[in-house]
Structure 1
Amino acid sequence: MESRRWHIIAGFSILFITYAVVLLNIQVFSTNYKTRAEANIVERVVEYPLRGMIYDRNGKLLASNAAVFDVMIVPKYFKIEEEDSVVLAGMLDYTMEELRYNIKKSKYYSWYKPSVLKKQLTETEYAKIQDKIIRFKGLSIQARTIRSYPHQSLANALGYVKEVSKAFLDRDTAGYYQSGDLIGKSGVEKFYEEELRGQRGVSYIMKNVKGVTKGSFEDGKFDTIPRVGATLTSSIDLDLQKYGEDLMVNKKGAVVALDPNTGEILAMISAPSYDPNQLTGEGKRVSKNYGGLSRDKNKPLFNRAMQSRYPPGSTFKTVMALIGLQKGAIDTLTTYFSCNKRLVGCHDHKTPLNVAGSIINSCNPWYYQEIRRLLDDEGKRYETSDVLRQTLDTWREEVKGYGLGVKLGVDMPYEKGGLVPSSNLYDRIYKGGGWKISTIHSISIGQGEVLAMPIQLANLGAIIANRGHYYTPHIIKDIGGEGPLQQYKVKHQVDVKPEYVDHIARAMSEVPRIGTARRAFSNDLVICGKTGTAQNPHGEDHSIFMGFAPLDKPQIAIAVYVENAGFGGTWAAPIASLMMEKYVNGEVKRPYLEKYVYNGDLIAKEEARKEKERLLKERREKQKARMKELQAKRAQQAAQQDSIRVTTSTDE
C-alpha cells in the first residue's frame, strides 16, 4: 500500500508539472495563442494594388485607374435593428429585399471573413455616407480602383476588365484570385494580366468592441505591402488611331497599321466600336451596357482586325507573283500572259501583261494561267492526281511562309489563323477526288477557300516593304522599362529573293498612279499598294487595300477592309492613303478626299439595300400568294362549270 501511495503521488505530480509547463508556455512564452485570442478584435484588410497604366507610343495615357469604395461586412459582428435596416438600405440605394439578400449572401460566404455588401461606390457616393457608416458594427469601407479610359478609342484592342466569377475561382488552381478581384477579359488587359494586376497587400488592424481602430496589429509585423502593376507602353499612335476611327465612322470593317521596321502596331481599328468606359466597374449599368453591345447587330465587341476571316481578294496576287518568281515558274522579263476573259472574268485593260503589269492592272486571267504552271500535273487539267495533290500542298506551305493561314502570335487573345486550302480539304469537299485546276483556280486571286485577317494582310505589306522579312506584329513595345517580350524581337525571313520583292514593290507604287487605286494617289508621298475586291454572298463585295509607304525606307504598312463597299479602289484605298499620309507627313493635304470618306455612310446604304431586298421579296411572296389564290379560284370555277355540264347532260 505504501508503494502504491507513492506511485499515485508521483503520477499526479508529473501531470501537474506538465500542465504547469503548458500553461506557462501559452500565457508567457508563446504569442501564437495570444494572436488567436486577439483574433476577435483584429481585422484583416486587403490592400488592392493599382493596376498598371497603359500609354501610347508618345506618352499619352490610354488606361488608368479610378478610385471606388466597397462597403464590407463581417456577419459575426453585424447586428442591426429593423428601423436601422431601413436607414442602411437608403444609404446603400438598396430595397429592403436587396439588403436582406446581400446580408444572407455574405453569411453564406463566411461568418468571420469580410465580404462585399455594396460594390464600388464612387467618391461622391462615399462622401455622403462615410460619417454614417461607422455607427453600424461589422461594416467597414475598403478602397480599391477600377479601370478608367481617358479616350473613347482603341476599345477592342485594349479590352476590358471584369470581376472574377465563381466558376473561374473554382478553376483557379494557382489560388491567386479571390471573390471581388478584377481580371482582364479581352485585349491587352487579358493578354498582359499578370504584368498589369500587380500583387495584393494585406494589413492587420486592431479594433475595440465599438469598431474603433486602435492601430496596427503587432506593429505591422504581419503586414505585406501591395506591389503596383507594371506600366505598359503601347506602340499605338493615338492621333493616327483617332483619325482612322473617324474615317471608319458609319462603316463596318477593320484597319491595321504597322511599323514594318519593328512589327509594332501603330493603329488597330475595328468598326463599329464602342466607348471602353461602358464596361468599367460592376453593377446594373455595366450589365445593361454589355447586354446591349452583345446584342448589337453590328457586333462592336467583335475585333474584326484579328478575328474576321475575309477572302484577301486581289491583294493575294502579290503572294502568287512572289511564289511564282521564287520557284522559277515565271520571270520578270519574258513572262507575258494575255487577259483571256474566257478563262475568268476581268476588267478592261491592255494585254498581254508581264508580272508588273498584272499587279498594276490586277488581271485575273493572268493568275489563272500562272497557277496552271505552278500546280499543273503534266498538262492533265481535268483530273485529280497525286502530283497535283503534292504541288498544291507544297504551294500551301509556301503561302504560309508569308504569315497567311497561320496564327502570327500577336500579343492579344482570340487571334484566328485564316485558311489556306490543302489537298485533304478538297478531298473532303469533293469526297475523295474529282477536283482539278479548273475547280480550284479561284484561290490564285484570293477567292474560294483562301481566308485571311486584316492583321495578316498588314503583315504582308510589311514583308514587301522590308523586301522579304517581318517581325511578329505586337501592340506593347515596353513592359516596365524592359522592352517588349522576347518573341517580338525575332526577325522572320521569308523564302524569297529580295530583288523579286523589290520588283513587286515597285509595281505596287504604280497602282495608285496608273492602276486600280487612282483615288489613293498623292503628290506628296509615294504610296505602294494593291487593291482587292472580295466577293460576298450576303451583299455588296468587300473593299480591300494592302500597302505601305514610302517606297524607299518605308515607315508604315497598312491593310484596310471595308465591308459591303464594292471595289477596293473605291473606299479601302482612299482610307489607307489618308492614314499613310497622316502618319508619314504629319498632315493631310487632300481635304476633298477626306470629305468624300467622312460623308460615306455605308452602313445606312447597306441597310437600305437589305430593306429594299426585303420589300422586294415580300412583294414577290404576295404575288405568288395571289397567283396561287387566283389559280385555286379558277380551278374552283372550272370544277363548278364541269358540275353544271354534267347536271345539264343528265337532265337531257
Structure 2
Amino acid sequence: MNRCVRHAAAFCLLLLLALLANAARVQLVAAGGYAANPANRRADIALYARPRGDILAGGRAVTGSRATGGRLAYVRTYADGPLYAPVTGFASQTYGATLLEGTENDLLDGTSPALHDQPLWREITRARQRGGDVHTTIDPAAQRAAYDGLAGRRGAVAALDPATGRILALVSSPSYDPGLLSGAGPSVTAAWRRLNDDPEQPMLDRAIRQTYPPGSTFKVVTAAAALAAGVVTDLRARTGSPDPYRLPGTDVELTNEGAGCRDASMYDAFRFSCNTVFAKLGADLGARNVVAQAELFGFNDARLRVPPSVAKSNVDTAMSPDQVALSSIGQYDTTATPLQMAMVAAAVGDGGRLMAPYLVDRVTDRVGTTVARTRPRLLHRAVDGRTAAALQQLMEAVVADGTGTNAAIPGAVVGGKTGTAQHGMANAGTPYAWFLSYARPSARAPASVAVAVVVEDADAVRADISGGGNAAPIARAVMEAVLKEPAAGLSRPAGS
C-alpha cells in the first residue's frame, strides 16, 4: 500500500471516529438538551400522533380524541368537561397535563410498560401502541348531584365509600371546560389567560387542593380525642363548661350562637355545636392528644396521593392552651381539604377504620384486558370500635334532632356534623358553610357513603350562612344518589 492510500485510509478512519464520537455526544450528552428545547416538536408529534386512551366514569368515557388534520394529529376532547374537570384535569398540547391526565399520562398515551405485550420488542423499536383506558371510581349520579347542588357557587364536595376508600364524587365549583385548553394556537392561549386571571379560580381543584378552616366539623376530631383519652366517659353527663368560656391565659371570652351550652353534656353540645364545651375539652386534653387524634384521621400527612397529590390538612403540633382551645373548634391555624373531612366522616361511619382514598379503580389495555387494579388499603385505625360507636351516636343525633336535620333521608340512617367556619382578619370574611356526613341504608347495614361539603357563598347574607342550611342539602342529595344504587352498602374489601 503506497503512502497516499495509507494517509487517505487514516484520514477516513479519523472521520469515522469523529462521527462516532459526535453521535455518542448527541445521544448521550446532549440528548436531554435537545429533547427539552421548545423548538423540538418530535416528542409532541409522537405523543399526539394517535388517540389517547380514555378516562371513564361509571363505564362511560368522559374524554375522547379528535383528529385535527395537522402535524399534531389528535387533540383531547371532553364530555361534560366542567362536571368532571376536578377528576380528569386537562391534557393540552400547549400547557401539559394535570390531575389524572397528568398522573396517568404514560398509561393514557401508551408508553407505560404495563400495556406492552412484548415489552423488549417495544423498547427496541420504540413503537407506540394505543393508550390504556383509566376507569375511575366516580359514581356519575353522585358527581352530578354534587355539581348541581353547588350550582356554580364557590365550594367543593368530596364523597367516599367508607368500606374501601373509593372516591365516589369529587366536585369543585366554579369549574371550567378542559377542552378549551386541548389544542394549540391563539384561542388556547386566550383561554389560558382568561382562566388564570379569573378571580373565581375555576381551575383550582378545591376538593383536594384547597384547605379551609373546618369550623365546627372539627368537633368530631375533638370528641374522638376526648372519648379515646377517657376525659369523657358518659355522653349524657354534664361537662362543667362555663358560658362564656375564657380562653386559657387570655382575656378573650368565647361565646356560643345559641343558649343552653353552659355545662352541657357532650351529647347536647355536639347536637347544638357548643363552642365553649369543645374549646374547654380541647384545652383540657392538651395539644398532644388533639394533634395525635387529628393525625390518626389523616391530618398533617403531606404524602397523600389519590393518585393526584392532595394538599396537606394542617393541625399545628406546637400550640399554647388558648390555641389548642381554638383549634378544637376548627379555628386558629387548623385547615382541611374537603377530602380530608370526608375521610373523617368515612372513618366514623366504618367503625373507626380509615381507608386510603383512591380515584383509579383499574386500567385496561386496547382490547379491554385489565392490566392494573387498585386494591383497597387500610391506612390505620382512626379510633377503636367503642369510640366510633359513640361518635356515630353523636353524629346521628345531629341529623335526627340537631343542627343537621336538612340532611335526613327517609328510611336511611344518616350521621352528620355542621360547621360555620370564620376566617379572615378578625374573622371579617364571609363564613364558610360546612357539612360532613355518612349514610347507610339501614341500622344494621354498613355505611355506604361519606360526604364533605364546603360552600364559600360570598353572595349570601352573613346571618343566613350555616352548614345545616347551605351545605347539608347538597350532602343529602349526594348520599341519596349513592343509596339508590342497587349495590349500595354491599361492597367491602376482603379480609376487613
Tell me which stretches of 4 or more aligned residues in structure 1 moved more than 6 Å. Answer: none
SS of 1:255 mapped into structure 2: strand
For 2:314, give the aligned amino acid.
Answer: L
SS of 1:266 mapped into structure 2: strand
Kindly tell me: are residues 235 and 329 of structure 1, through their superposed partners in 2, closer, same or farther at Cα, counting changes over 3 Å? same
Deviation at 1:458, TM superposition (A): 0.5
Structure 2 stretches lacking a partner, 5+ long: 13-41, 113-123, 246-253, 365-369, 487-496
Q: Does residue 402 in structure 1 map to residue 297 in structure 2? A: yes
CA contact (8 A) 2:155 2:206 kept: yes
User: Match for residue 108 of structure 1?
Assistant: none
CA contact (8 A) 2:100 2:307 kept: yes
Deviation at 1:533, TM superposition (A): 0.7
Query: How many residues are treated as equivalent by the alignment?
Result: 416
Mapping 1:105-144, distance limit 5 Å: 144=73
Q: Which has the higher helix share?
A: 1
User: Which of 158, 164, 168 in structure 1 is aligned with 2:88?
Assistant: 158
Give the Cα–Cα distance (whole angstroms) in 1 for the partners of residues 183 and 309 of structure 2. Answer: 23
Give the Cα–Cα distance (whole angstroms) in 2 for the partners of residues 250 and 495 of structure 1. Answer: 34
Structure 1 stretches lacking a partner, 5+ long: 1-10, 23-43, 72-119, 121-143, 166-182, 201-221, 376-391, 427-435, 588-652
User: Match for residue 278 of structure 2?
Assistant: 367
CA contact (8 A) 2:243 2:261 kept: no
Deviation at 1:247, TM superposition (A): 1.4
Give the Cα–Cα distance (whole angstroms) in 1 for the partners of residues 211 and 60 of structure 2. Answer: 32
Deviation at 1:258, TM superposition (A): 0.8
User: Match for residue 467 of structure 2?
Assistant: 568
User: Which of 448, 452, 466 in structure 2 is aligned with 1:555?
Assistant: 448
Deviation at 1:163, TM superposition (A): 3.0
- Structure number with greater CO (CA < 8 Å, separation at least 6) is 2
TM-score, normalised to structure 2, is 0.77
Deviation at 1:416, TM superposition (A): 1.1
User: Match for residue 484 of structure 1?
Assistant: 373
SS of 2:207 mapped into structure 1: helix
For 1:230, give the aligned amino acid.
Answer: G
For 1:68, give the aligned amino acid.
Answer: T
Kindly tell me: are residues 523 and 46 of structure 1, through their superposed partners in 2, closer, same or farther at Cα, counting changes over 3 Å? closer
Deviation at 1:193, TM superposition (A): 1.7
- Comparing 156-165 with 560-569, greater Cα deviation is found at 156-165
For 1:323, give the aligned amino acid.
Answer: A
Deviation at 1:536, TM superposition (A): 2.6
User: Match for residue 544 of structure 1?
Assistant: 434
Q: Does residue 258 in structure 1 map to residue 160 in structure 2? A: yes
Kindly tell me: are residues 336 and 357 of structure 1, through their superposed partners in 2, closer, same or farther at Cα, counting changes over 3 Å? same
Cα deviation 1:305-338 (Å, max 9, x = unaligned): 1122111111111111111111112213574225
SS of 1:269 mapped into structure 2: strand
Mapping 1:84-95, distance limit 5 Å: none
Kindly tell me: are residues 439 and 273 of structure 1, through their superposed partners in 2, closer, same or farther at Cα, counting changes over 3 Å? closer
Kindly tell me: are residues 154 and 495 of structure 1, through their superposed partners in 2, closer, same or farther at Cα, counting changes over 3 Å? closer
For 2:79, give the aligned amino acid.
Answer: P
User: Match for residue 64 of structure 1?
Assistant: 64
CA contact (8 A) 1:339 1:352 kept: yes
Mapping 1:195-274, distance limit 5 Å: 195-199=107-111, 225-274=127-176
Kindly tell me: are residues 483 and 569 of structure 1, through their superposed partners in 2, closer, same or farther at Cα, counting changes over 3 Å? same
For 1:353, give the aligned amino acid.
Answer: A
Q: Does residue 508 in structure 1 map to residue 415 in structure 2? A: no
Cα deviation 1:190-237 (Å, max 9, x = unaligned): 11122222139xxxxxxxxxxxxxxxxxxxxx9764212221100111
Deviation at 1:411, TM superposition (A): 2.4
Give the Cα–Cα distance (whole angstroms) in 2 for the partners of residues 230 and 256 of structure 1. Answer: 26
TM-score, normalised to structure 1, is 0.59
User: Match for residue 383 of structure 2?
Assistant: 496
CA contact (8 A) 1:188 1:411 kept: no
Kindly tell me: are residues 352 and 332 of structure 1, through their superposed partners in 2, closer, same or farther at Cα, counting changes over 3 Å? same
Give the Cα–Cα distance (whole angstroms) in 1 for the partners of residues 279 and 125 of structure 2. Answer: 72
User: Which of 324, 333, 338 in structure 2 is aligned with 1:449?
Assistant: 333
Give the Cα–Cα distance (whole angstroms) in 2 for the partners of residues 465 and 227 of structure 1. Answer: 44
Kindly tell me: are residues 355 and 394 of structure 1, through their superposed partners in 2, closer, same or farther at Cα, counting changes over 3 Å? closer
Give the Cα–Cα distance (whole angstroms) in 1 for the partners of residues 236 and 174 of structure 2. Answer: 47
User: Match for residue 460 of structure 1?
Assistant: 344
CA contact (8 A) 1:393 1:422 kept: yes
Give the Cα–Cα distance (whole angstroms) in 2 for the partners of residues 417 and 263 of structure 1. Answer: 18
Deviation at 1:249, TM superposition (A): 1.4
Give the Cα–Cα distance (whole angstroms) in 2 for the partners of residues 373 and 440 of structure 1. Answer: 9
